[in-house]
Amino acid sequence: MSTWFTSDLHLGHYSVGKTRGFDITDEHDYTLVENINSKVNKRDKLFILGDLAFTDKGLHWLDVVRCRNIELILGNHDKYPLRRYMEHGITKFHGFRGYKNYWLSHCPIHPNEIRKKTGNIHGHIHTFGDTEKIIDPRYYNVNVEFHDLHPVSLEEIERHFKEKNDE
C-alpha cells in the first residue's frame, strides 16, 4: 500500500480548466482522474488536500477513481454537505490533520506551527496569480499544477524534506 497526495482538482470548474490549458471541462476532469488512476491503486491511501469539486458533475468524477481509501482535507471551495462526498467514495474528512511527521492542510499553516524536522503538506497556492510557491523548505505544495496534473507519492515528499533537512 502506498500513500498519495493531491489538491486543487477543481473538478467541474470551467475557468480553472481553461487556465490549465483545457477548452472542455470534461476533458480537464477526465485527465485529472486518469492521472490519479495511473498512479494510485485500489488499496492505496489518497489524501485530497482541498478544493475537490465545484459542481455535482465534478463530484461524480470521483466514482471513476479506483482508490477506495480517500481522505479529504476540506478546502475553501469544498461546499457540499459531507454526506455528498461520502456518496462518491470519500472515507474521512478533516479540516487539518497530522500524518506521520507532517501537517496536512489545504492552506499553508503558520511557520511557527511547524515543529523541527516536520513539514506542512498543503495545496491552495496555484501557478497563476501573484504568488506561485512558498520559498521555505518546510512546505510542500501538492497542487496538481506543480506536478504535471498528477498526485505525489509520500516517498517523493519524504525525499524533498530529507534533502532540505540535509542542506
CATH (domain of 104): 3.60.21.10
What does DSSP assign to residue 11? B
Residue 110 is placed in which grid cell?
A: 503558520
Boundaries of domain holding 89: 3-166
**Cβ 164 vs Cβ 114: under 8 Å:** no
DSSP line for 33-67: HHHHHTT--TTSEEEE-S--BSSHHHHHGGGG---
pTM of the model: 0.93
45-101 per-position pLDDT tens digit? 999 999 999 999 999 999 999 999 999 999 999 999 999 999 999 999 999 999 998
Q: Count of domains in the chain?
A: 1
Q: How confident is the model at residue 159 (pLDDT cuts 50, 70, 90)?
A: very high
Mean of the per-residue pLDDT values of the chain = 91
Residue 86 parent element (H or E)? helix 82-86
